[in-house]
Structure 1
Amino acid sequence: MLQIRFICVGKLKEKFYKDAAGEYLKRLSAYCKTELDELPESRLGDRPSPAEIDAALKAEADGILTRLPAGAAAVALCVEGEERDSAGMAALLQKYAANGISKICFVIGGSCGLHRTIKERADVRLSMSRMTFPHHLARIMLLEQVYRAFKIAEGGKYHK
């Protein structure tokens, strides 16, 4: 069975985000083994310098790298990533499965994004859209799209 780990910087605080994440994780359990790994977001002042932001992102990256399992495909969500439609996401998951890759890690950074070392380490850089979304909402959107990808692969009615 495919194992998918979602490595996320920042904890969900709002009940509606927690409820949505819980619902999609429950739905995904029929298709794969999931794990949600939350790291604390680095604290920055109101007007951090570029050096302070880089140091915070590096600290978060160090934590992310320790959580990437050996042999896992890493998919980093970042603005410079490739946009895929839902069928493209399904094709990505199917490609990994067909190539014998049983572990996939999706990585979502905090409010300042991801450090370049994570983007360079990633097998795939994925962009949700050219629009900007809060990282907590991006997590819910990703969970939904992974669920949709499984429904597409099985030919279910969920995807229209």
Structure 2
Amino acid sequence: MKACECVIFGKGKEKMNITILAVGKVKESFYRQAVEEFKKRLSRYCRLQIVEVQDEKTPDNAGDALERQIKAKEAARLQKYIKDTDYVVTLEIEGQQPDSVALADKLQRLGVDGTSSIVFAIGGSLGLHEDITKRSNYRLSFSNMTFPHQMMRVILLEQIYRSYRIINGEPYHK
């Protein structure tokens, strides 16, 4: 995956590393095309990396114990890519629901405060294990509704792109 250098404030000096860390692969070609389009658009603003870890198959009617084991295995895979210095944003239905301007403000403040690496963590079909949510610095929700995990990557990338447009005073659709 190609990385790109970030200009968080339009000055050309600040660099932000953004990682989308997700359980499972994007399978449908239309989602892959959308991800590639936003990677291209974001290339002028940040160093972007997308890391996919293997998901566990969840049998129908899996009990609570099996679901906890599955989430724990996926969490162990995710944790390999989270450094102590990363600012971790978990996508959780119970998280904060900022509007686009507030999310842009949050990203800008992180850059001003010296954060150089943000990891956005997206869980598998069962969600994120508590080991990952406990590590979270910020819990983000886009809605109380549930979305397909592949679609969520596209939505997240679009909102990161929109944030950079706002931060840099560039036009965006409201």
Sort the TM-score into its range (normalised by shorter chain).
over 0.9
Aligned length: 160
2:94 is the counterpart of 1:80: yes
2:136 is the counterpart of 1:117: no
Task: Give the deviation of 1:70 after TM superposition.
Answer: 3.1
Query: RMSD between aligned alpha carbons?
Result: 0.8
Structure 1, residues 128-154: CA drift from partner, whole Å, max 9, x if none? 101111111111100000000000011
CA distance in 1, matches of 2:19, 2:54: 17
2:117 is the counterpart of 1:132: no
Q: Which residue of 1 aligns with 2:74?
A: 60
Task: Give the deviation of 1:88 after TM superposition.
Answer: 1.1
Task: Give the deviation of 1:69 after TM superposition.
Answer: 2.5
Structure 2: segments with no counterpart, 5+ residues: 1-14
Structure 1, residues 79-113: CA drift from partner, whole Å, max 9, x if none? 11111110111011101100101100000011111
Q: Which residue of 2 aligns with 1:143?
A: 157
Contact 1:3 1:104 in 2 (8 A): yes
Name the SS for the 1:5 alignment partner.
Answer: strand
Q: Which residue of 1 aligns with 2:119?
A: 105
2:105 is the counterpart of 1:91: yes
Given residue 32 of structure 2, which amino acid in structure 1 is its aligned partner? K
Task: Give the deviation of 1:155 after TM superposition.
Answer: 1.1
Q: How does 1:16-35 map to 2 (within 5 A)?
A: 16-35=30-49
TM normalised by structure 2 equals 0.90
Contact 1:152 1:159 in 2 (8 A): no
Q: Which residue of 1 aligns with 2:19?
A: 5
CA distance in 1, matches of 2:102, 2:152: 18
CA distance in 2, matches of 1:159, 1:9: 30
Given residue 125 of structure 1, which amino acid in structure 2 is its aligned partner? R
Q: Which residue of 2 aligns with 1:42?
A: 56
CA distance in 2, matches of 1:58, 1:128: 24
CA distance in 1, matches of 2:173, 2:137: 26
CA distance in 1, matches of 2:118, 2:45: 13
Name the SS for the 1:107 alignment partner.
Answer: strand
